[in-house]
Amino acid sequence: MLVAQLSRIGFEGFEEEEQQLLAFIPKTLYDARQLLQTVLTAKGLERGEPDELFSVKEIEQKNWNEEWEKDFQPVVIDDFCAIRAYFHEQIPDVKYDLIITPKMSFGTGHHATTYMMMEAMRSIDFYAEKVLDFGTGTGVLAILAEKLGSVDIRAVDLDPWSIENAAENIAANRAVHISLEQKDSLAGEGVFDIILANINLQVILQNLGVLRQHLDDNGVIIASGVLQSDEGQIRQNAAKEGFLMNILFIRNNWMSFSLKKQEINREFAKV
């Protein structure tokens, strides 16, 4: 429950340990008062001192690529695909072999959300479909979309680190049908048959209406980055925007889901 509440105020990464929860947030989004109120609410308290409830530490910059390489192991999804780093040998007996070096970006398949997104993509026909990867991160989903047959893929992200990293991964996988751009909105984009959105709860909720505008009437949105406990909130907001929601996979309390257009029922008064 606390993870769900913290994700709503900007926390993006979590590590659950036996006696504590580690939660990570960009420094620019950190609000001490907001955090205190969230923790008090989760504990059912009316008041309390911050140093009695949590501690805060600013993480120094490191060579995260070096740290990651120490423990990184390839991710294999049955015989469908494998995600490995450039220093790993090619994975045998898989249909699609992806080379991904994440650096500071999100998306290696280790996290449940990316894993589920790729599982969902396995059952979709991408051949000749126009695809949008909204919040591309490492570019892994866009790269897989090309391997699955799409020749018109748009990958966007607001983080310059992600754009730089995705460009490197796109080149490493010799993908030639991916258009990559740093931007914080979908203004100027066209209509897509398939939209991939592995982001977080708040970004998904804020962009449901915009995503609907850019989705073909017969298209589908595949999304993740949200907890299973957020299902009710997403389902309610999706219905308001004219979407039919379907749960696809649940993994480690995270979920992936699809959205398809349906008619919006609107009440009106004739005067």
Q: SS3 string of 225-264?
A: EEEHHHHHHHHHHHHHCCEEEEEEEEECCEEEEEEEECCC
Together in a domain, 168 and 242: yes
Q: Decide: 148 and 121 in contact? Cβ < 8 Å.
A: yes
Position 67 in a domain: no
pLDDT for 69 equals 60
Together in a domain, 226 and 143: yes
d(CA 119, CA 122): 5
Q: Decide: 229 and 202 in contact? Cβ < 8 Å.
A: no
d(CA 144, CA 81): 9
How many structural domains compose the chain? Answer: 2
Q: Give the residue numbers spanning the domain of 19.
A: 2-53
Position 240 in a domain: yes
246: left (phi over 0), alpha (psi -120 to 50) or beta: beta
Together in a domain, 113 and 244: yes
Cβ burial 75-96 (10 Å sphere, 16+ → b, else e): bebeeebbbbbeeeeebeebeb
Together in a domain, 137 and 16: no
pLDDT for 108 equals 58
Together in a domain, 32 and 139: no
Together in a domain, 41 and 117: no
Stated as kind and residue range, the H or E segment containing 40 is helix 32-43
Neighbouring C-beta atoms of residue 148, cutoff 10 Å: 19
Position 63 in a domain: no
Position 96 in a domain: no
21, 36, 53 — which closes off a domain?
53
Position 40 in a domain: yes
Together in a domain, 46 and 179: no
Indicate the pairing of strand 215-227 with strand 254-261: antiparallel
Residues in the chain: 271
pLDDT for 66 equals 64
53, 71, 89 — which closes off a domain?
53
Give pTM, 2 decimals.
Answer: 0.75
Together in a domain, 33 and 129: no
d(CA 114, CA 90): 20
pLDDT by residue for the chain (271 residues), tens digit each?
788 889 889 888 888 888 888 999 988 899 999 999 999 888 888 888 888 889 999 988 776 656 666 667 888 999 999 998 888 888 889 999 999 876 654 555 567 888 999 999 999 999 999 999 999 988 999 999 999 999 999 999 998 888 998 999 999 999 999 999 999 888 888 999 999 999 988 899 999 999 999 999 999 999 999 999 999 999 999 999 999 999 999 998 899 999 999 875 555 445 4
Position 72 in a domain: no
Together in a domain, 120 and 250: yes
Sign (positive or negative) of CA dihedral 234, 239, 242, 247: positive
Together in a domain, 112 and 201: yes
Position 266 in a domain: no
Together in a domain, 148 and 37: no
Sheet holding 96-99, edge to edge: 75-77, 81-84, 96-99
53, 77, 94 — which closes off a domain?
53
Give 3-state DSSP helix, strand, coil % of the chain, rounded to 5. 35, 25, 40
- β-partners of residue 131 are 153, 194
Torsion, Cα of 184, 187, 189, 195 (10° steps):
50
pLDDT for 265 equals 56
Position 18 in a domain: yes
pLDDT for 173 equals 95
Residue with tokens 């962009």: 207
pLDDT for 129 equals 96
